[in-house]
Amino acid sequence: MPAVDISRRRHEINLSNMAIKKIQSGALHEIVDTTLGFETDFKVRKMISDVAELAFQCLQSSKDVRPSMAEVLDMLEDIRSDGSYKSKHEVQEDISEDDDALLKNVPPPPSPHSHLVTISNSTPPNGSQ
């Protein structure tokens, strides 16, 4: 059963269609509560935009395109924790880059601690040999 609001204009009665159109056209400000600070706070704008992108995915008509509830939960937790999340595509790119390095047997860059250990091991701790 579609979500509808018969008090709206004809082309906005189906709320999911209206949301998709507003998200696609970059008109989030038209559907976001002004008291949230969307217009004035960059972090709030980023978080709302990320939630809108997630909502857009959830509103797709094809079940195969929509994220699972577990994926939605993960994405919402990411948004809440640091104000952003990576889409499936971005996560897949990150995984592919990591896999490429592993498959090429490329050693990871040395940590700053490994450099310090090398230096400190070259001189005895008390200065005597």
Residue 64 falls inside a structural domain: yes
Is the predicted pLDDT of residue 11 greater than 90, yes or no? no
Residue 56 falls inside a structural domain: yes
Region of 41 please: left (phi>0), alpha (psi -120 to 50) or beta.
beta
Q: Is the pTM of this model over 0.95?
A: no
Residue 72 falls inside a structural domain: yes
Residue 80 falls inside a structural domain: yes
Q: How many structural domains comprise the chain?
A: 1
- At 57-103, the pLDDT tens digits run 998 888 899 999 999 999 999 998 875 556 555 666 666 665 665 66
Residue 117 falls inside a structural domain: no
Residue 62 falls inside a structural domain: yes
Closest C-alpha to 97, from 89, 76, 125, 72? 89
Is the predicted pLDDT of residue 42 greater than 80, yes or no? yes
Residue 110 falls inside a structural domain: no
Residue 45 falls inside a structural domain: yes
For residue 69, the enclosing domain spans: 10-91
